Amino acid sequence: MANQHSPPMEIISLFEKREELRRVLQSKHFANAPKKTRFLEFVAEQALLGNAEKLNEHLIGVEVYGRGPDFNPQEDPIVRVQAHDIRRALRKYYEEEGESSSLRIDLPPGHYIPIFDKAALGEEAKPGVHPAPAAAMARMRTRWHVVLVVGLATACVILSFLLIQERSRNKPPVQPSLPTLPEGLEWFWKPFLPPADPPVIVIPNHPLLRAAHDGDSAQTLAHGHEIPKDEFPEFRDTIHFRELRRFVFVPSMTDFTAVGETLGLLNLFELFSSAGQKCKLNQSRLVSFEEIKRGNVILLGGNQPWSGRIFLNVEGFRFQSGVILNRNPRPGEKSVYKPEFDPVTNQLTLDYALVLMLPNERKENRILLVYGIYTQGSQAAIEYVTNSQRLPELRKVLAGLSPDHRALPAYFQALLETTVENHVPGKTSLVAVRVVSN
């Protein structure tokens, strides 16, 4: 009797899964149903990103259907109802448009984790084949009996599993132990850490003039501004001076990201990674004010297109026209803080930065603004708030400003000063602190 081997399990690539998801969402069963599309797209993407264990009715209700944090799935069955409709739409899709698809997406009843599986395509009987002999038919009946018994046993196991899971659904989920930050950092960053959603970090897109090159379009060059080469002796030893026939400068909002803010991102990513938190990164020109209001946000650099709105009702310090204004100076404070420059080289030698912890539209969420007058100030401020040795200094000052000298205010401003040498921030000092009222 020949050895029989089970076929190896096929590995389905991420590309195949995303392609199948795309085809399903573009089908007539989903294309005109934005909520169903958003539901299936959200749970599928979370599963593909490795976040399947977080999928539950509450998360889907908040993220997909805009329910508030007090959403109760027992009182509002929107998620279960929509999941039922999605399962029905998937069945219809694979009965019609997706009948020949080699990959199937399924949303098992009672679950919100989609399953990607290869379609089991049965072998059709070929015409002209005669019935098998009696002995062969007997063997076939025996095999069917075995298959039936195994199938019934499997069904019992599945039903038992579903029953246990149904009973456990109303139990509060056991929260896994999460990595923690050092005490010197945890008090500041707690609103941004799990179980809070990953914060959005926004980096600035500074408007600037950059050197045009042969890769630019005629339209781009037409909006350029030419400056004779001999007026730029500082560039004489650069490759641009040798390669470019003309110095034409064109306006740009996409090619430049501030160096200090970018270097500071390394500190932020390292901090969130050590606490088991993910984070999202986006450019300021691609983020709307409505998106900013949705959750926890960290704004780096002062050239955010809507940063003025954040400042509208904030007491204390104000960033304006390249200086930091102090509306109500206290003893030993200045009314205006301006950067300083070397009188000979004109290089920056002293910069200032603001750190603002403010409430978002929902009070459990925060907007954190960290930026300097120049990019060196931004870098110094980010390094300060991610340093477990320096941040306790700010905590001590904030505690001293509270009525009992112990409780920490939720919202505040901090003014920092940093020395700068060779375009690199040096020693950073805490200049002043203000508590922001709720």
Rounded to whole angstroms, the Cα distance separating 312 from 10 reads: 58
Which amino acid, 423? H
pLDDT at residue 376, rounded to an integer:
92
Q: Identify whether residues 93 and 73 lie together within a single domain.
A: yes
Considering the domain boundaries, does residue 168 fall inside one? no
359 by Cβ neighbours in 10 Å (0-12 / 13-18 / 19+) ranks as: middle
**Quick check: 302 and 373 in contact, CB under 8 A?**
yes
The per-residue DSSP string of 137-172 comes to: HHHHHHHHHHHHHHHHHHHHHHHHHHHHHHHHTTSP
Q: Identify whether residues 407 and 347 lie together within a single domain.
A: yes
Last residue of a domain, one of 98, 118, 138: 118
Rounded to whole angstroms, the Cα distance separating 204 from 66 reads: 28
Considering the domain boundaries, does residue 158 fall inside one? no
| Mean pLDDT in order along the chain per 10 residues (438 residues) | 48 84 90 88 88 88 87 89 92 90 88 83 37 40 52 64 63 60 91 92 79 80 84 73 79 71 89 90 80 87 61 69 87 93 91 92 88 90 94 94 88 95 92 88
Q: Identify whether residues 423 and 306 lie together within a single domain.
A: yes
Rounded to whole angstroms, the Cα distance separating 259 from 154 reads: 60
Instruction: Name 46's Cβ contacts closer than 8 Å, sequence gap at least 6.
Output: 52, 54, 55
Last residue of a domain, one of 102, 118, 134: 118
Q: Identify whether residues 269 and 248 lie together within a single domain.
A: no
113 by Cβ neighbours in 10 Å (0-12 / 13-18 / 19+) ranks as: middle
Q: Identify whether residues 275 and 215 lie together within a single domain.
A: no
Q: Identify whether residues 201 and 315 lie together within a single domain.
A: yes
Considering the domain boundaries, does residue 6 fall inside one? no
Token code pair at residue 409:
């205010």
Considering the domain boundaries, does residue 156 fall inside one? no
Last residue of a domain, one of 252, 268, 286: 252
Domain span at residue 109 reads 14-118
- Domain count for the chain: 3
Bridge partner residues of 433 (DSSP): 414
pLDDT at residue 122, rounded to an integer:
42
Considering the domain boundaries, does residue 146 fall inside one? no
Q: Identify whether residues 21 and 85 lie together within a single domain.
A: yes
Considering the domain boundaries, does residue 9 fall inside one? no
**Quick check: 274 and 232 in contact, CB under 8 A?**
no
Q: Identify whether residues 232 and 353 lie together within a single domain.
A: no
pLDDT at residue 282, rounded to an integer:
84
pLDDT at residue 12, rounded to an integer:
82
**Quick check: 323 and 373 in contact, CB under 8 A?**
yes
Q: Identify whether residues 393 and 419 lie together within a single domain.
A: yes
Considering the domain boundaries, does residue 79 fall inside one? yes
Considering the domain boundaries, does residue 154 fall inside one? no
Q: Identify whether residues 87 and 225 lie together within a single domain.
A: no
Instruction: Kindly state the greatest CA–CA separation across the chain.
Output: 106
**CATH code of the domain containing 198:** 3.30.379
Q: Identify whether residues 286 and 243 lie together within a single domain.
A: no
Q: Identify whether residues 271 and 219 lie together within a single domain.
A: no
